Structure 1
Amino acid sequence: MKRMKILSLGLISLWLMALTLTACGGSPPTSQEAAPATDTQTSTPAKGLKDVKVVLDWTPNTNHTGLYVAKDKGFYEKAGLNVQIVQPGSGGADQMVASNAAPFGISYQEGVTQARTQGVPLVSIAAVIQHNTSGFAAPVDRGIKSPKDFEGKKYGGWGSPVEEAVMKSIMDSDKGDVSKVKIINMGNADYFTAVKRDIDFAWIFYAWTGIEAQLRGEPLDMLYVKDYSKSLDYYTPVIVSNEQTIKNDPELVKAFMDATAQGYEYTIAHPEEAADILSKAVPELDKKLVLASQKWLSPRYQDDAAQWGVQKPEVWQNYSDWMYERKLLSKPLEVDKAFTNGFLPKR
């Protein structure tokens, strides 16, 4: 399975172009980063249920388990919904949701932030994970124990301005010099292949690639970006909808979120059973990896929040200010329009 990636500003630009071209009747550009739009789970529409699509950000993994649990346990059906979980097309999940090709999708705070400042009507309606579990990872034999140790090393990325900005931010805190890092565009290369062949470190989600490294017996040094700046403790991933759906069908959003919250709450309480549900729904996944990842991730979905899915305005403000100060945004973010907790169930 290809490694999970953080959405880059380069990809955001691609789907913004795709959205514009689609609106103008043209053909959107293709991206090698996104998989074709395909069902990840077959379903037979039940009589009287409303058909709803939710688009994943990448191939199925434990960030998405709550969706599969909500479907398997009948939470969606009880809410009156026949939910189809699909992988993104060439334009990506954000483009599909923003253009209303699907009412719901999985995105990232950085993607929504960039989109909102460019007039794209995405709205985050829940945080899947309460704290950022991503960071820079290197095999232990590279000796990368702190950000300053990036100096003289080769970083494998995907060519986005945000990568160097994040790297510079955490290296500055350690008196390091980002200009001394050799940045290589590794594209879709598998992390484990790349670190043996081309690079010393890369940006990963620990819940998947980090856990896989444990199972392979290839220990990592992991530098979580949130540990170096509160501005980098942003929500990744998030569940998104669009302004049109929220305005025209708020009851749909409420029903979807109530059932989805039940799915993630069940996954928090029953990680082993939830892992089995995901593995059965997506049998091509490595069952050992799914189980180990789920055990690590389940307590981190809600973490220290009052309930699963809650988003704090200061998290959105801190990260968008960080982006704007580094000229990664064309204008400041209107935080109160970027997210809402209004569709989370009352607990």
Structure 2
Amino acid sequence: MKQLKVGLAAVLVLTLLMLTACGKSEQSANESKGSADKKLIDVKIALDWTPNTNHTGIYVAKEKGYFAEQGLNVEIVLPGSNSSMAMVGAGNAEFGIGVQESITQGRLQGVPVVSLAAIIQHNTSGFASPVDKNIKTPKDFEGKKYGGYGSPAEAAVIESIMQTQNADFKKVTSINIGEADYFTAVKRDVDFSWIYYAWTGVEAELRKEPVNMIYLTDYSDKLDYYTPVVISSEKLIKEKPEIAKAFMAAVSKGYNYAIDKPEDAANILIKAVPELNKDLVMASQKWLSPRYKAEAPRWGEQKRSVWENYSNWMFDHKLLEKKLDVDAAFTNDYLPKSN
């Protein structure tokens, strides 16, 4: 009789355990189903160029699920025949990658775009030339051929930094090389060109074709503008601010990951865009990662003085017909409070 009672008790306990387990399994299944049923909001971000390490934080946010955590399904697209700024301004993409110069000009032409974050805190661009050209200062531009893209801003920048050394801009020959490869152009057609060191400069190191680099920031603090930046439209941030905040929360997390783990971040970009040069991506990422945030209190933070200084410089050099409403051109309001 005693054995029978023990046996019945054991069966009862086992039954209760099975029922509890089944209940938990059903609850877990229902929770998973509920999560799966929660529809993500589709948004697009248009890049400014082919994918590179300026964009790593975006690819990290997508791969690591940071966008999904914020309820977003993000499609990364190339600008195609239209610029990223034009796509965002027209509502064909909710977000984009741009530069301060284009945003300044675009806003004064009625394109309603706003900068939400600085991807890199300082301007890492400048004029590069093979070392055997012996171009070490803006004074050395005299008698040389410059390969550019045909933008009025290029001539203004070259002339302004040459003026700091009493050099004559009229002695520079400008040639429009469009999207020609820097390395081909400086061997065949021109003496120097405008590059971003984080990509083309690092590539020169890897190719063992060293360059003399003349950074804009070495000659004028007004040329230390934000390039690139994350942009959106006035319409989106006004009508759907929660999407802007969710997007920037994920992007901020992505760039902070790239700051803390440059090699892992580089591998994520390589996985997403396998046609990229792996060695270049890895070297570029290591060079750029500490420069994303630099001395700023958080990634993406923008200063009013940077926007004001550069727009005033553009106005003074007759690149703008009127002064920019600086406070409408950028905002830090959609960045996380801390990151």
Normalised to the residue count of structure 2, the TM-score between the two structures is: 0.88
Number of the residue aligned with 1:197? 188
Cα deviation digits, residues 316-345 of structure 1 (max 9, x gap): 000000000111011100000000000000
* Alignment coverage as a number of residue pairs: 303
- 5+ residue gaps, structure 1, are 1-44
- 5+ residue gaps, structure 2, are 1-35
Counterpart CA distance in 2 for 1:220 and 1:163 is: 20
- Structure 1 letter corresponding to 2:113: L
Alpha-carbon contact 2:86-2:111 (below 8 Å) kept: no
1:218 to 179, 189, 209: 209
1:51-66 equivalences under 5 Å are 51-66=42-57
- Structure 2 letter corresponding to 1:280: K
Measured after TM superposition, the shift of residue 158 of structure 1 is: 1.1
Number of the residue aligned with 1:242? 233
Number of the residue aligned with 1:92? 83
1:9-158 equivalences under 5 Å are 48-158=39-149
Task: Name the one with the larger helix percent.
Answer: 2
Query: What is the SS of the residue equivalent to 1:166?
Result: helix
| Aligned-residue RMSD, C-alpha | 1.0
Counterpart CA distance in 2 for 1:306 and 1:122 is: 25
1:167-182 equivalences under 5 Å are 167-182=158-173
- Structure 2 letter corresponding to 1:87: L
Counterpart CA distance in 2 for 1:103 and 1:159 is: 29
Quick check: which has more Rg, 1 or 2?
2
Query: What is the SS of the residue equivalent to 1:89?
Result: coil
Query: What is the SS of the residue equivalent to 2:291?
Result: helix
Structure 1: which 4+ aligned runs deviate by more than 4 Å? none
Alpha-carbon contact 1:313-1:336 (below 8 Å) kept: yes
Counterpart CA distance in 1 for 2:129 and 2:37 is: 48
1:160 to 147, 151, 156: 151
Counterpart CA distance in 2 for 1:182 and 1:158 is: 13
Alpha-carbon contact 1:107-1:238 (below 8 Å) kept: yes
Counterpart CA distance in 1 for 2:296 and 2:218 is: 18
* CA pair 46-186 structure 1, distance change in 2 beyond 3 A: farther
1:267 aligns to 2:248 (yes or no)? no
* CA pair 255-117 structure 1, distance change in 2 beyond 3 A: same
Alpha-carbon contact 2:115-2:230 (below 8 Å) kept: yes
Measured after TM superposition, the shift of residue 288 of structure 1 is: 0.2
Counterpart CA distance in 1 for 2:103 and 2:204 is: 30
Counterpart CA distance in 2 for 1:257 and 1:46 is: 24
Counterpart CA distance in 2 for 1:120 and 1:86 is: 20
Counterpart CA distance in 1 for 2:104 and 2:301 is: 17
Cα deviation digits, residues 94-131 of structure 1 (max 9, x gap): 10000111110000000100011112100000000000
Cα deviation digits, residues 280-315 of structure 1 (max 9, x gap): 000000000000000000000000111100000000
Measured after TM superposition, the shift of residue 174 of structure 1 is: 1.3
Alpha-carbon contact 2:40-2:68 (below 8 Å) kept: yes
Normalised to the residue count of structure 1, the TM-score between the two structures is: 0.86
Number of the residue aligned with 1:289? 280
Percentage of identical aligned residues: 64
Number of the residue aligned with 2:6? none
* CA pair 178-46 structure 1, distance change in 2 beyond 3 A: farther
Measured after TM superposition, the shift of residue 47 of structure 1 is: 5.2
Query: What is the SS of the residue equivalent to 1:268?
Result: helix
Alpha-carbon contact 1:46-1:82 (below 8 Å) kept: no
Query: What is the SS of the residue equivalent to 1:283?
Result: coil
